[in-house]
Chains A and B, each alone.
Chain A
Amino acid sequence: MSSEGEHVVSMTDVEVHFETDSGIFSRDSDVVQAVDGVTLDVEAEDVVALVGESGCGKTTLGKTAIGVQRPTSGSVTYKGQDIWEARDIGGNADIPFDEIRRALQIIHQDPGASLNPNKTVMHTLNVPLRMTNPGMDAFDRRERVHEMLSRVGMEPPEDYANRFPHQLSGGEKQRVALIRALLMNPDLILADEAVSALDVSLRIDMMDLMLELQDQFDTSYLFVSHNLSNASYITGKADGRIGVMYLGELVEVGPIDEVLENPQHPYTKVLMWAAPNLDPDADAQTRSPLRKIDIPDPRNPPTGCRFHTRCPEAREVCKQRPPVTEMDDEGDHRVMCYRALDEHEYWDSPEIEDEADDMPR
């Protein structure tokens, strides 16, 4: 949809490392490299999906993109302005931090926890209105809330506005969370597993709604999900991009249809194998292509290419970190794998020896 235009959010070589205390008697605290050297841009009115298993860093990266998580190194900019610099130097920044904070919003995964259980829907939705339109009086705000509730299909709006969260279904709560985020007039919304807690038949509804309102409110989505089918639906309909993450690294990123048709990274292919398929005729390869069933401990990731311990195509040379290869001229489709290079010693390198606890190939 848009590969030109100003970047709304731009992350360059971002690293987020957490120190975890392992107890009173630990000698040194372990460091979890939740995000390690990721570069990613989000354009205006864009949809970018981040997929991967839990612990891959997609949520951390998402929160870094909206300025909630401070990176330990690298930069995050909003419309050119470094977010954390704006926070540190206060009034002198080109774009003040307050403005940035309001432009980047979130929709959480668990609808049950994303709304204040003690406040009515009307109260909850009044908050963003008061922040963005201080001139509006209570009466007008009320009308606006009713209008938005109608817009997302919650009729009659007066009834819904007076309800408490426990009186709403999961889908309804998520819609309220969506309205709340949109009423801030943001430039980017992080949808952190926003449809994962909903019933399967409701997910399409919610994703369609998000896309419909995207036009109206002129916002982008960063859609974090462990479910490839959901991610492919929403990015597909919006002609967006998908980023695949593994143990803190962005191993492949590109336009959704291209990545699905022509996956370059072995991990992407594994994810596609794992995505449940409705078509019983499809060639169901039942054996797992992975060499090991469990993800390595993020405190102690494998050296070089982090996927090499489980990769079905791993070779000795993979113990060194592969470069990022552009698959096309526009720089849209990037992969971090030796296999993307036609000529490399990878092709001559021997396969890695199987270990005792490997899954049978």
Chain B
Amino acid sequence: MQAQTTRKFGVADPIFEVRNASITFDMDRGESRVMDSVDIDIERGEILGVVGESGSGKSMFASALLDAVVDPGVLTGDITFYPESGEEINLLNKSEREIKQIRWEQIAMVFQGAMSSFNPTMTIGAHFRETLDVHGFDVEEGMEHAEDLLAQLYLEADQIFDSYPHELSGGMQQRSLLALSLVLEPEVLVMDEPTAALDLLMQRSIIELIREIGRERDLTIVFITHDLPLVANLADRLGVLYAFEFVEVGPAYEVLTDSKHPYTRALLNSTPNLDTPREEMKPIEGKSPDPVNVPAGCSYHPRCPLADETCIQMDPEFSTGNGDDDHQAKCHYIDRTRAEIPLNLTEVTHDE
């Protein structure tokens, strides 16, 4: 596709263009749509935070970017990858073999629970060697590079290479996996809850390491999590997922201090935080929808205080609500959300 497609959300130099991407599963009780006509661009070199609770489809989004949706799920739409050098690649058109080459060499993925990503019968060193070998890289050079990576992550290469996964602590495993994902020098790193099983301190330390490494190596990072505060200080832009689609996308600072979508605002108000006054915290009423049974119209309307007939009938489109192109949300009443749903955090810190 050589035609200039409309850039989304003010992204100037996209490394990923996702258009109308959907993932469906055929289940006994109906068709399960775990990703619903998603459109988004990812800027080269940025850190994009994708925030969604369980049942929002965030892991499916990660799988889609690597064309790694589990059977019998079906991925449709257009996902175009623009590597630094070379032709643009339409991921869905590629054969399984071609995709395998792209995965890990150009687009790497780090899952939650490092333990299950490793082969328990192989040492960490063997994992590195195998990865380098299978992708046709020079193993000697690669291992040296791996040593550098490990050192940057405060791991001793000698000790790590000889260890089996179960011999390492959770934090060490996750950092080893991070190094493994970077050894082939990919351009993009997709991380799905990489710190979920870890302690507070290790989580924070790893976030800092990711930030450093990302900057050094000009990586594009997609960081997917349910924990909004975790990614708040790391991400350049934030995308909020609800009911299997993005409901708000924009620069991180704006999304956190001046969110436009009712769900984002409610989510911020219900997230425990050291600084927010406790009396102001409010849980979100209701439950996230079942993928087989997403509400018609705006998928958030059953839980939204602003919902009315329009919301029940019509699915809203992205709009800017008198702001910049780069910050948009899917809400009919985007202009009213600020007034109707006050943010408890900003009230405190940005008060006159």
A residues lining the B interface (CB < 8 Å): 53-54, 169-170, 199-205, 207-208, 226-230, 232-233, 236-237, 260, 270-282, 284, 286-288, 290, 292-295, 357, 359
Per the bound structure, the CA–CA distance linking A295 and B202 in Å amounts to 9
User: CA separation between A170 and B226, bound complex, in Å?
Assistant: 15
Q: Which residue on B lies nearest to A287, using beta carbons?
A: B208
Contact between B268 and A227, CB atoms less than 8 A apart: no
Alpha-carbon distance between A357 and B230 when the two chains are bound, in angstroms: 26
Q: Does B93 contact A (CB under 8 A)?
A: no
Find B270's partner among A201, A230, A273, A284 (CB 8 Å cutoff): A201
- Are the CB atoms of A201 and B200 closer together than 8 Å? no
What 10 new A-B contacts, CB under 8 Å, besides A272-B274, A279-B275, A295-B169? A204-B270, A205-B270, A274-B203, A274-B205, A277-B233, A277-B275, A278-B275, A281-B350, A282-B349, A357-B154
| B199 engages A53 (CB within 8 Å) | yes
CB neighbours of A204 from chain B (8 A): 270-272, 281-283
**Could you tell me which residues of chain B, from 295 to 321, have a CB within 8 Å of some CB in chain A?**
none
Contact of B53 among A200, A260, A278, A293 (CB under 8 A): A200
Query: Are A278 and B268 within 8 A (Cβ)?
Result: yes
Q: Tell whether, in the assembled complex, residue B233 and residue A199 are in contact, meaning their CB atoms are under 8 Å apart.
A: no
Distance A273 CA – B228 CA, assembled complex (angstroms): 16
CA distance A282 to B230 in the complex (A): 14
| B115 in contact (CB, < 8 A) | no
Q: Which of B199, B208, B287 contacts A288 (CB 8 A)?
A: B208
Residues on B with beta carbons closer than 8 Å to the beta carbon of A272:
274
Q: How far is the CA of A284 from the CA of B253 in the complex (A)?
A: 13
Given contacts A199-B54, A200-B270, A280-B257, contact A229 B229 (CB under 8 A): yes
Instruction: Tell me if B204 counts as interface (CB < 8 A to partner A).
Output: yes
- CB B289 to nearest CB in A, in angstroms, measures 12
What is the CB-to-nearest-CB distance from B235 to chain A, in angstroms, rounded to a whole number? 10
Digitize B168-183: 1 where CB-to-A-CB distance is under 8 Å, 0 elsewhere. 0111100000000000
**Are A233 and B154 touching (Cβ within 8 A)?**
no
Indicate which residue in B203, B256, B267, B349 contacts A201 across the interface (CB closer than 8 Å): B267
Band of interface residues on B? 35 or more
Interface centre among A169, A170, A200, A232, by most chain B C-beta atoms within 10 angstroms, is A200
Q: Which residues of B contact A208 (CB under 8 A)?
A: 283
- A200-B226 in contact (CB<8A): yes
B283 touches A290 (CB 8 A): no
A276 and B229 in contact (CB under 8 A), knowing A200-B270, A229-B272, A288-B208? yes
Cross-interface CB contact of A286 among B170, B203, B208, B228, cutoff 8 Å: B208
State how many angstroms separate the Cβ of A100 from the closest Cβ of chain B. Answer: 32
B283 close to A233 (CB less than 8 A) = no
Which of the listed residues A227, A228, A237, A277 has the most CB atoms from chain B within 10 Å of its own CB?
A277
Contacts A270-B201, A280-B233; A229 near B274 (Cβ below 8 A): yes
Let me know if A199 and B274 touch, CB within 8 A. no
Chain B residues with Cβ below 8 Å from A260 are: 274
Chain B residues lying within 8 Å of A203, measured Cβ to Cβ, are 272
Given contacts A54-B170, A201-B271, A293-B205, contact A281 B200 (CB under 8 A): no
Asked whether B200 lies within 8 Å of A275 as measured between CB atoms, the reply is: yes
Q: Is B232 an interface residue, CB under 8 A from the partner?
A: yes
Q: List 12 A-B contacts (CB under 8 A).
A: A53-B202, A200-B267, A278-B268, A278-B276, A280-B232, A281-B257, A288-B205, A290-B205, A293-B202, A294-B169, A294-B172, A357-B154
Instruction: List the B residue with the shortest CB-CB distance to A233.
Output: B272
B244 to A: closest C-beta gap in Å: 16
* Residue interface mask B219-245, A partner, CB < 8 A = 1: 000000011111011000000000000
- For B156, the chain A residues whose CB sits under 8 A away are 357
Asked whether any CB of chain A lies closer than 8 Å to the CB of B284, the reply is yes
Q: If the complex has contacts A204-B272, A282-B275, are A274 and B283 also in contact, measured as CB distance less than 8 A?
A: no
Contacts known (A199-B226, A200-B271, A201-B271); A273 close to B204, Cβ less than 8 A: yes
Task: Note all chain A residues with C-beta closer than 8 A to B18.
Answer: none
Q: How far is the CA of A207 from the CA of B272 in the complex (A)?
A: 10
1/0 contact string of B256-279 vs chain A (CB within 8 Å): 110000000011101111111010
Judge whether B139 is part of the interface by a CB distance below 8 angstroms.
no
Most buried by B among A236, A273, A279: A279
Q: Is B211 an interface residue (CB 8 A)?
A: yes
Closest A residue by C-beta to B197: A54
Q: Which 9 A-B pairs have the closest CB atoms?
A: A276-B229, A205-B283, A274-B204, A53-B199, A201-B270, A229-B272, A233-B272, A199-B53, A293-B154
Cβ-defined contact, B229 with A277, below 8 A: yes
Asked if B191 is at the interface of the complex by the 8 Å CB criterion, the answer is no
B204, B253, B266 — most chain A CB neighbours (10 Å):
B204
Inter-chain CA distance A201–B256, complex, in Å, is 15
Complex CA gap A281/B346 in Å reads 10
Q: Which of A205, A275, A288, A295 contacts B274 (CB 8 A)?
A: A275
Residue picked from A271, A273, A278, most chain B C-beta under 10 Å: A278
A273 to B172: give the CA distance in the assembly, Å.
21
A230→B169 contact, CB < 8 A: no
B170–A278 CB distance below 8 A: no
Q: Which residues of A sit under 8 angstroms from B199, Cβ to Cβ?
A: 53-54, 226
The verdict on B345 contacting chain A, using a C-beta distance below 8 Å, is yes
* B228 partner residues in chain A, CB cutoff 8 A: 200, 278
The chain A residue sitting closest to B53, CB to CB, is: A199
* In contact, B275 and A271 (Cβ under 8 angstroms): no
B-chain residues with CB within 8 Å of residue A270 when the two chains form the complex: 201
Once the chains are docked, how many angstroms separate the CA of A357 from the CA of B152? 11
- What separation, in Å, do the CA atoms of A290 and B282 have in the docked complex? 34
User: What A residues does B282 contact at CB under 8 A?
Assistant: 204
Q: With A and B bound together, what is the CA distance between A230 and B200 in angstroms?
A: 12
CA distance A302 to B227 in the complex (A): 33
Contact of B256 among A199, A271, A273, A278 (CB under 8 A): A278
Write the chain B residue with the least CB distance to A286: B208
Q: Are A228 and B233 in contact (CB under 8 A)?
A: no
- Chain B 37-69 interface 0/1 with A at a Cβ cutoff of 8 Å (1 = within): 000000000000000011000000000000000
